[in-house]
Chains A and B, each alone.
Chain A
């Protein structure tokens, strides 16, 4: 599903953001990416959705070899992924329903089916009643649910979440996390970057820990560690 083999990523001015990363995330798996800010979590996610290209090494996602993926193929890769960010990235001048529908419209989906599909995912994230609301009329947790609905509406095989609970209070965090777990339970792989260790401890999922761009711990390979080991 997602396979990194000896991946390096150097930014022109920022030095090495990722050093020799090798890991494999299987279909339907739930994996946390943890580590301090700047450890390389976001870089891994960006490499997965081809926002950045690896300087060295091989990245394979859903059958695409990203090293030689022509730019015009990137949209087709992204249609197989759902992406969620800390800052939600919703369009302020569109309702929840329109924000979700937007993801279908831009992929050229037929108009006839859009409304039904949008309502189905909004129901799935528990926001059917808020469909006509604008982002400013929604709480942070609700906005993140809209963003998750938008990520889900194209029925991705992988959901990438970059600090999805970073802007949320504890209650909203629990809700959003539970939603991600439910999504995973229905078969979608989830890769979630977070530095919220409480969340990480709550669930028996795989943990990949990064430090200064290097992969320092992978719970699927390494011995289990005590709670104090994770930063």
Chain B
């Protein structure tokens, strides 16, 4: 094992430029994937926060009898998507506005008449907080005759949803393109190394080295380069994360350890794949 490891590391010394190039390409391919993933992770997070607040608010026509509303609340709570439905009277709406909108406390106090309508606030089960379900619930509530208007963060939810899918698709496409380049470069590195070490490889075979023994250092080399590229990509992503937090004043989240490990593992897979497809073909030529 020691011997194989030493043989694998030898290439870094013998072809440092090509090795660095492979590592950098893998790093960039994963960095691009990582960057898009990072944005996707944060959009996902924002989305779930918005979704948590994705309550449907139904404004009630003035003068609706409280019995009608109480009755309707029961109906709404019986919807399969709904967790709670609660009534907010005009007075409590004003009280809440005074409490929450501190800047407007003055003007609000001076109001002669309460301009705020009464409303029914509906919260949904976490699984049903996507655009489709929220829309369906809103439509059903709109059907109540006493309901003046229904509001919910539909636009936001749909836009974020779309953004997330676009980001995921673009990230994946660019990442795959870079990964393909990385595979080609690793293949080229292996070809150069095999040619450079042709004499050594033929001697190894002459003294009875198995094909696997000859091949293994090259595969290991690919895995090591991939891991180095993956680590570099995580480092670059972390730098991007720091930059966005410090200078763009965005409060974003970084990958959790599992996600970071997945990026490094991705690098190892790219490295292994690149060396695998090249080494067999090249060794036959020696």
**Residues of A at under 8 Å CB distance from B?**
49, 71-72, 75-79, 83, 89, 91, 102-103, 105-108, 111, 150, 154
Contact = CB atoms under 8 A, between A and B. Distances in A.
Interface string B1-24: 011000000000000000000000
A111 B2 contact: yes
Contact of A75 (B2, B3, B199, B210): B210
B204 interface: yes
20 contacts: A49-B206, A75-B205, A75-B208, A75-B210, A75-B211, A77-B208, A78-B207, A78-B208, A79-B208, A83-B207, A89-B206, A102-B203, A102-B204, A103-B207, A106-B3, A106-B209, A107-B207, A111-B2, A150-B207, A154-B208
A102 B207 CA distance: 9
A77 B209 CA distance: 11
Question: Which of B200, B202, B203, B204 is packed against the most chain A CB atoms within 10 Å?
Answer: B203
Nearest to A83: B206
B213 interface: yes
Contacts of A83: 206-207
B210 A72 contact: yes
Interface residues of B, number: 15
Chain B facing A: main interface SS = helix
A76 B208 contact: yes
Contacts of A106: 3, 204, 207-209, 213
B203 A108 contact: no
Contacts of B199: 89, 91
Nearest to A105: B3
Q: Closest 7 A-B residue pairs measured CB to CB?
A: A106-B209, A79-B208, A103-B207, A78-B208, A75-B210, A75-B208, A105-B3
Interface in B196-226: 199-200, 202-211, 213
Contacts of A75: 205, 208-211, 213
Contacts of A71: 211
A77 B200 CA distance: 19
B201 to A, nearest CB: 10
Nearest to A153: B207
Nearest to A85: B206
A77 B206 CA distance: 10
A159 B204 CA distance: 17
Contacts of A103: 207-208
Nearest to B214: A106
Contacts of A79: 207-208
A83 B202 CA distance: 12
